Amino acid sequence: MNTALILSLAAIGVAVVLFILLLVQNHKITALREALDDATYDLQAAQQHFHDALPAEVLTRQEVQLLINEEVSRNVQAIANAQAEAAANAYLTDPVVESPKVIYFGRPSAERMFDDERKTLEPYETSYYRFTLLKDEPEQAVIDFCPTRQGAIKALDNRVKTIEPACQLVVNGEKPQTYRQVAQGSAVLKNGFWTVLKKVEVVYE
């Protein structure tokens, strides 16, 4: 009887221990599942964050280079189109007017001639006359008397050689300080010399 009781108590004790172990095990499993669920949630959240941070498409290096090449090609084509349009519009704009060719001379010869080899392309202190060549007839020119202020005084002092061969001169007063041109003259180029056809009209006063 005592033996049966002991065995019964032992069985009950074992059952209690097993029950306790089962409870502990179930608690561990529940905690493990909760931890697993938390980890799964965190992983999904990290995946979503990573996905949101990415561009709409993840391109390979070759695809990126292809896009760059296409953009460069479009820019080059746009420049070419703009240049072609500008060239086409050039015909619609006003034509460029070329400035007439101008040359300068010192005093003429007594025969009313200027040596073409002594011309200059810019005026100097010794320049007295400006020849403006006609565009359609460059062997003809209009003449202007255009000395400097000091040159005008020297020219008048030596008027016989400097002014009178190429100008119709009028002097007002004994010591005029200024001059004005009333009308242009004209000349023609022949055999390397410019011959005055019409004298410049100049007034000193």
Q: What is the mean pLDDT of residues 142-163?
A: 95
Residue 86: predicted pLDDT: 72
**70-106: pLDDT as tens digits:** 766 776 677 777 777 776 666 555 556 667 899 999 9
d(CA 110, CA 41): 113
d(CA 38, CA 36): 5
Residue 72: predicted pLDDT: 65
pLDDT above 80 for 157: yes
Q: Annotate 110-126 with b (16+ C-beta within 10 A) or e (fewer).
A: eebbbeeeebeeebeee
Q: Higher pLDDT residue, 39 or 135?
A: 135
Contact criterion met (CB below 8 Å) for 170 and 202: yes
pLDDT above 80 for 25: no
pTM: 0.54
Residue spans per domain, the chain: 2-90, 102-204
